[in-house]
Amino acid sequence: MAMAKKRSKIKETESTPKLFFAVRIRGAPGMRRKILDTLKMLRMHKLNHGVLIWGTPSFEGMLVKCKDYISYGEIDEKTLIRLLRVRGKTEGNRTLTEEYIKNLTKYKNFRELAKALITGEIQYQEKDIYKIKPVFRLHPPRKGHRGTIKKHYNEGGTLGNVGIYINGLIHKML
């Protein structure tokens, strides 16, 4: 009898994780404790708080667990630059400026910082970027959410993985 070869469980290629942006859409009443704890770990304590999240398997699992209360998707560079410029905050709740980026990081402007964040070259836990707050406090969206906040994106709502629609949602919330 021929024996089948075992496949190795090691992944052949390690790709750089995608950069996701997640926004909390719904509030806490009636929420299970585990989901509330997961939202706190993701630093989404209040409504309309958004965070940048790298697409590692552990973070993706957390996003899937909270899909009934948040909206998330892959952010593009143009939207990230605008988000950092309009809603970026530093220590002491000051607005993020290009001078601050020049003085305390190795990047010269918002564009270089956004490109480094998207490529995974730098993350929030590293070096001087920890002085930039990872939570973005956003406004409610202009002209409301797409559909309802009680249904998922595929059903005509706003919740769950919305893909590239997250960029439009961010522009509505700035």
If you classify domain 16-174 with CATH, what class do you get?
A: alpha beta
User: Considering only CA atoms, which of 12, 21, 45 is closest in space to residue 31?
Assistant: 45
Place of tokens 């059903």: 155
Q: How far apart are CA 80 and CA 56, in angstroms?
A: 19
Place of tokens 């000051």: 94
Return the domain boundaries, the chain.
16-174
Q: How far apart are CA 36 and CA 22, in angstroms?
A: 15
Q: What is the pLDDT of residues 32-75, one digit of tens each?
A: 999 899 989 888 888 889 998 888 888 888 888 888 899 999 98
SS3 11: coil
Q: What is the pLDDT of residues 30-44, one digit of tens each?
A: 889 998 999 898 888
Instruction: Please give the pLDDT value at position 23.
Output: 92
Instruction: Please give the pLDDT value at position 11.
Output: 52
Cβ(135)–Cβ(51) below 8 Å: yes
What angle (nearest 5°) sits at the alpha carbon of residue 43, between those of residues 101 and 78? 45
Residues of the chain with pLDDT under 50: 12-13
User: Considering only CA atoms, which of 144, 163, 168, 173 is closest in space to residue 20?
Assistant: 163
Instruction: Please give the pLDDT value at position 12.
Output: 44
Predicted TM-score of the model (pTM) = 0.81
SS3 121: coil
